[in-house]
Homo-oligomer: A and B are copies of this chain.
Amino acid sequence: MSIITYDIIQHVIIFGKERGFKMKSYRKELWFKADRRRKLINITHQVEKCLQESGIKEGLLLCNAMHITASVFINDDESGLHMDYENWLEELAPEKPYERYNHNTYEDNADAHLKRTIMGREVVVAITNGRLDFGPWEQIFYGEFDGMRNKRVLVKIIGE
C-alpha cells in the first residue's frame, strides 16, 4: 500500500514540474437581441468574464455564433471602420432586392447568410497566463446581420 502512496506523489510531481497538466473545459452561452437588422457588438469584456469564471490559465478559447446569419470576428472597435463594414458588406451581398436570392421564398435573409460568410462564424483565441492572448487592437465582435430577435454566441474553453 505504501507503493500506492508514493505513486500518487510521483504523479503530482509529473503534472507540476514537467508542464503537463489536467484539462478543464468550460461552456457558456451569451444571448443578444440587436435592436436593428445589422449591428456589430463588442463582446470582448463578456468573453473575458467567461475566461475568469473558467479559471483556465493555458489553453484555447472558441467563440462562435450559434446562428447562421450572425458572425463572431476579431477586428478594431472604431466607428468609422464599422460604417465601412456596413457599406462594404452591402456592396458585396446587398440586402435588396429580396428577389435577388433564391433563398428568399419564405425568408428575406439570404444576404445575412452571405454577409456572415464573409465575416466568419468563429474565432479561436489562445489563452496564456489566464488572459486572452491578444495583439494591441484585437477586440471580439458579435456581428448581427438578421437581428431584432434573441440569438446566441457560444464560448467554449479547454485547457488547464
Give the B-binding residues of A (Cβ under 8 A).
1-11, 14-15, 18-25, 27, 58-60, 62, 64-68, 73-76, 78-81, 83-85, 87-88, 92-93, 101-105, 110, 113-114, 116-126, 128, 133-138, 152, 154, 156, 158-160
Partner of A103, one of B64, B78, B116: B78
Main SS of chain A's interface residues?
mixed
Partner of A4, one of B4, B15, B105: B4
Partner of A10, one of B8, B116, B156, B159: B8
Can you name 18 A-B pairs with beta carbons within 8 Å? Answer: A3-B6, A4-B4, A19-B24, A21-B22, A22-B22, A27-B126, A65-B135, A67-B137, A68-B75, A68-B76, A79-B102, A80-B101, A83-B102, A84-B102, A84-B110, A84-B113, A87-B102, A122-B123
CA–CA, A98 and B19, complex, Å: 49
Which B residues are in CB contact (< 8 Å) with A102?
79-81, 83-84, 87
Q: Are A25 and B159 in contact (CB under 8 A)?
A: yes
Indicate whether A135 sits within 8 Å of B67 (C-beta atoms), given known contacts A114-B88, A123-B121, A124-B62. yes
